[in-house]
Structure 1
């Protein structure tokens, strides 16, 4: 039966080539855009170099001081004071990585000015994040104690300063009018790795602006690495208990709020949410609404085309009904035909997506990002094909099943 449905579907597609082209174009273009967007989201949110332990990580991206009367709210990343005196006392995490966000500054090489991004880190940062060292090694505890002016730089930074094939070890990079001796070079980190991407990595003891003071707020982010995923809820609870022990700058007047979040929650909190709501639900709701609305217009167009096709085939439907074909059989046939059309459009969409993704990767639109259509993205694409086919096929099939035999036979006379 399916073989006959397939033959009929191909014959119908060949009969009206223009309508077939419009249908395939709408399906393939819609799916191409969805596949490329899915690939972007997959790269941004999935574990990748150097953040390969993400399933065991929790992030402290900000702390909030809030008036208990609701007069004001102040929020920022954590301070070194808060991290050293409180976060570092936590027992559950296996490692606690501390680092600033990326700070853009001016650097000079042969009297040529260029912009580089600096990140101050501690030693466990290099254990939580698994960087590939092209040469050299990370700084150690002794370097931090000695306040050694050393640096780890990215592959791109080495190329800018010293050339593609030159060794950078023992040589100096200058930023903020300070010279740092290069002790390591790491493979470039994609710009989508927001907690690990930088041009130059420095010991946090060189960050003189943040070393002193007793403020809770500062410039530092924290990554907590659990021994296993089972420890994640325990770390969350330990952190909340820890906050109760932190003295507030104005006692009984301010509430200290902060959370340990997964990577996704940390990402959505910074974009959509607040410390009480990570914004994850809103994030997925927005994606769902966008996908639905984006697919709605081509689906409506495809429904109209399918209804027109059905009206053209009304005499065929009338004859089949007259010879005993049930409405259920006819509905099933038309949905199968529509699914075949959708799958063909999906295949074209996937092929077109490969072309566009290859162009985007070659363009370097986002530094060191490599989009791929992996199994996750392919799964989303196949699901989109299925939904597209059902959405555009059910209503026309229902209309077809309601055609009266006599009316259908007279339709083309």
Structure 2
């Protein structure tokens, strides 16, 4: 039976090639966008080199001073004073990594301008983030204390500055009118790993902004690594208790807010968050609504095309009903035809998504981007195809089952 349904479905698709093309394109294009979007979200939120411990991490990225009268709000990254004198003394975390926001400067190898990113880090940064050292090693505690002018660089910077295949270890690199000795070369971190990706990593003792001052806002971020995921709520509570001991301008009736968040919450809090709410639930709600609307549009389009197809096939339906075909049989046939159409569109979408991801990975638009389509993405895509087929086929199939035999046969005249 299904073999006959398949043959009929292929014959119907060939009958009106333009409508078939529109249907297949709508399905495949929608699924391509969704699969590429899913791959982006996965690579952004899943543990990824060198941030492989994300399920045990919390991120402190902002402090906020808010007037109790709600006259103003000041927000920024953390000052070294706050990190060194308070956060560094937390008991629950296994490791506390500190690093500055990325800043951009220029280097001039062989009189060629090269834009490079740099960040200052502490020693724990190299234990929290699992970089693969291709050469050398990170700076030592003694080098950190002595503020030695040493750096760890990425593999890509080494190739661009010294040349492909040339060992950078022990050589000097110059930027900001200063020369630094390269003591380590790491595999380049993807640009999508915001808190760890850079071209140059320096000891924080070389950062002039760390000397003096009791301001709470500066240019540093903190990653807290727990011994296990079960300790994350404990770390969050300890950090909130710690904030109560941080001095701030109480005479101006300012309120201090800051949070130790998961990776996703660290982004959603300051876009969608309100009060203690992180904005994570709103993020998933908005994402779900966007996906639903994106799926609904081609479904409605396919439904309208299917209704038109049924009206064209009314005489065929009338003849089959006259010869004893039941409404249930006709509805089943049409749903199978529609599922075959959507599955073909799904396969086209899968190949289009694979091609698009390959192009994006090799384009260099996002440095070291490594998008993938995994098994879960494919399964969800096939599920989306089934939803497409059922949603766009049920109403037209119901319309077909209600056609009067005499009216359907007259449509042939």
Report the TM-score, using the length of structure 1 for normalisation.
0.94
Native 8 Å contact 2:54 2:263 kept in 1: yes
Secondary structure of 1:389 counterpart: helix
2:115 aligns to what? 115
1:53 aligns to what? 53
Deviation at 1:380, TM superposition (A): 3.1
Native 8 Å contact 1:105 1:175 kept in 2: yes
Deviation at 1:274, TM superposition (A): 5.4
1:79 aligns to what? 79
Native 8 Å contact 1:147 1:205 kept in 2: yes
Deviation at 1:298, TM superposition (A): 2.5
2:12 aligns to what? 12
2:346 aligns to what? 346
Assess, with a 3 A threshold, how the Cα gap between structure 1 residues 275 and 224 changes in structure 2: closer, same or farther.
Answer: farther
1:34 aligns to what? 34
Secondary structure of 1:242 counterpart: helix
Per-residue displacement from partner, 1:160-190 (whole Å, max 9, x unpaired)?
2211111112211122222111100011111
Partner Cα distance (2:372, 2:79) in 1: 38
Partner Cα distance (1:330, 1:84) in 2: 74
Per-residue displacement from partner, 1:60-116 (whole Å, max 9, x unpaired)?
111111111111111111111111111111111111111111101122334443221
Deviation at 1:340, TM superposition (A): 1.0
* Range with greater deviation from structure 2 (317-326 or 104-113): 317-326
Q: 2:381 aligned with 1:370, yes or no? A: no
2:393 aligns to what? 393
Partner Cα distance (1:120, 1:275) in 2: 31
Deviation at 1:222, TM superposition (A): 0.8
Native 8 Å contact 2:268 2:278 kept in 1: yes
User: What are the equivalent positions in structure 2 for 1:258-297 lying under 5 Å apart?
Assistant: 258-273=258-273, 276-297=276-297
Native 8 Å contact 1:257 1:275 kept in 2: no
Native 8 Å contact 1:42 1:377 kept in 2: no
1:224 aligns to what? 224
Deviation at 1:384, TM superposition (A): 2.5
* Range with greater deviation from structure 2 (376-385 or 45-54): 376-385
Partner Cα distance (2:98, 2:275) in 1: 20
Native 8 Å contact 2:67 2:252 kept in 1: no
Partner Cα distance (1:207, 1:408) in 2: 82
Native 8 Å contact 1:259 1:275 kept in 2: no
Assess, with a 3 A threshold, how the Cα gap between structure 1 residues 123 and 275 changes in structure 2: closer, same or farther.
Answer: farther
Native 8 Å contact 1:64 1:275 kept in 2: no
Assess, with a 3 A threshold, how the Cα gap between structure 1 residues 315 and 271 changes in structure 2: closer, same or farther.
Answer: same
2:100 aligns to what? 100
Structure 2 segments unaligned to the other structure (5+ residues): none
Partner Cα distance (2:191, 2:378) in 1: 24
Partner Cα distance (2:400, 2:261) in 1: 52
Native 8 Å contact 2:28 2:348 kept in 1: yes
2:185 aligns to what? 185
Aligned residues: 413
Q: Which runs of 4+ in 1 moved over 6 A?
A: none
Report the TM-score, using the length of structure 2 for normalisation.
0.94
1:157 aligns to what? 157
Deviation at 1:17, TM superposition (A): 2.7
Partner Cα distance (2:95, 2:102) in 1: 21
Deviation at 1:270, TM superposition (A): 4.5
Per-residue displacement from partner, 1:274-297 (whole Å, max 9, x unpaired)?
563333233223323333333333
Partner Cα distance (1:188, 1:43) in 2: 16
* Range with greater deviation from structure 2 (33-42 or 77-86): 33-42
